[in-house]
A and B are shown apart, each in its own frame.
Chain A
Amino acid sequence: MKRTRITLNTCGAVAWFTFGLSVCYGASRLGLGNITDPGPGFIFFWSGSILTLLSLMLLFNSLQETAPEDRETGRTNWTKVACVLAALLFFAFFLEKLGFVFTTFLLLCFLLGVSGGKSWLPVLGVASAAAVGSFALFELWLKIRLPKGIFGF
Chain B
Amino acid sequence: MLESLASLAYGFTIALQPQNLLYCFIGVTMGTLVGVLPGIGPTATIALLLPATFHLNPVSAIIMLSGICYGAMYGGSTTSILLNIPGEASSVVTCLDGYQMARQGRAGPALGISAFGSFIAGTFSILGLVVLAPTLAEFGLKFGPPEYFALMIMGMSVVAYLARKSMIKALMMTVSGVILGCIGLDPITATPRFTFGILDLTDGIGLAPVVMGLFGIAEVLENLGVLTKAEIFAGKIKGLFPNRDDWQRSIGPITRGSLLGFFLGLVPGVGAIVPQFLSYALEKRLSAHPERFGSGEIEGVASPEACNNAATGGTFIPLLSLGIPSNAMTAVLLGALMIYGLTPGPLLIKNSPDLFWGVIASMYVGNILLLILNLPLIPLWVSILKIPYSYLSSFIILFCLIGAYSLNNNTTDIYIAVLFSFFGLLMKKFDFEPAPLVLAFVLGPLLETALRRSLILSDGSFLIFFQRPIAAGFILFALFVLVVPLFSKIRLGPGLGEED
| B431 adjacent to chain A (CB < 8 Å) | yes
Nearest CB in chain A: distance from B193 CB, A: 5
Instruction: Give every chain B residue within 8 A of A80 (Cβ-Cβ).
Output: 224-225
| A6 adjacent to chain B (CB < 8 Å) | no
Nearest CB in chain B: distance from A46 CB, A: 9
B406 and A76 contacting across the interface, CB-CB below 8 Å: no
Interface residues on B, range: 35 or more
Chain A 45-68, CB-CB to B under 8 Å as 1, else 0, gives 001101100110110010000000
| B10 adjacent to chain A (CB < 8 Å) | no
Cα distance A130–B392 in the bound complex, in angstroms: 12
B390 and A117 contacting across the interface, CB-CB below 8 Å: yes
Instruction: Give every chain A residue within 8 A of B421 (Cβ-Cβ).
Output: 85, 88
| B451 adjacent to chain A (CB < 8 Å) | yes
Cα distance A142–B402 in the bound complex, in angstroms: 12
Query: Contact partner of B422 among A30, A85, A143, CB < 8 A?
Result: A85
Instruction: Give every chain B residue within 8 A of A116 (Cβ-Cβ).
Output: 388, 390-391, 393-394
Instruction: Give every chain B residue within 8 A of A104 (Cβ-Cβ).
Output: 398
- Total contacting residues, chain A, CB less than 8 A: 63
| A71 adjacent to chain B (CB < 8 Å) | yes
Residues in A23-44 with C-beta less than 8 Å from chain B: 23, 26, 30-31, 34-44
| B179 adjacent to chain A (CB < 8 Å) | yes
- Judged by DSSP, the binding face of A is helix
Instruction: Give every chain A residue within 8 A of B7 (Cβ-Cβ).
Output: none
Query: Contact partner of B395 among A58, A61, A130, CB < 8 A?
Result: A130
Query: Contact partner of A51 among B172, B414, B429, B444, CB < 8 A?
Result: B172
Residues in A61-106 with C-beta less than 8 Å from chain B: 61, 71, 73, 75-77, 80-81, 84-85, 88-89, 91-93, 95-96, 104
| B221 adjacent to chain A (CB < 8 Å) | yes
Q: Which residue of A lies closest to B404 (CB)?
A: A92
Most chain-B CB neighbours within 10 Å: which of A26, A57, A111, A118?
Answer: A111
Nearest 10 pairs of A and B residues by beta carbon: A116-B390, A36-B460, A77-B225, A35-B460, A92-B414, A40-B186, A142-B52, A111-B394, A40-B191, A43-B448
B-to-A contact residues, CB < 8 Å: 51-52, 54-55, 166, 168-169, 171-172, 175-176, 178-179, 182, 186, 188-189, 191, 193-194, 217, 220-222, 224-226, 388, 390-391, 393-395, 397-399, 401-402, 405-406, 409, 411, 414-415, 418, 421-422, 425, 429-431, 444, 447-448, 451-452, 455-456, 459-460
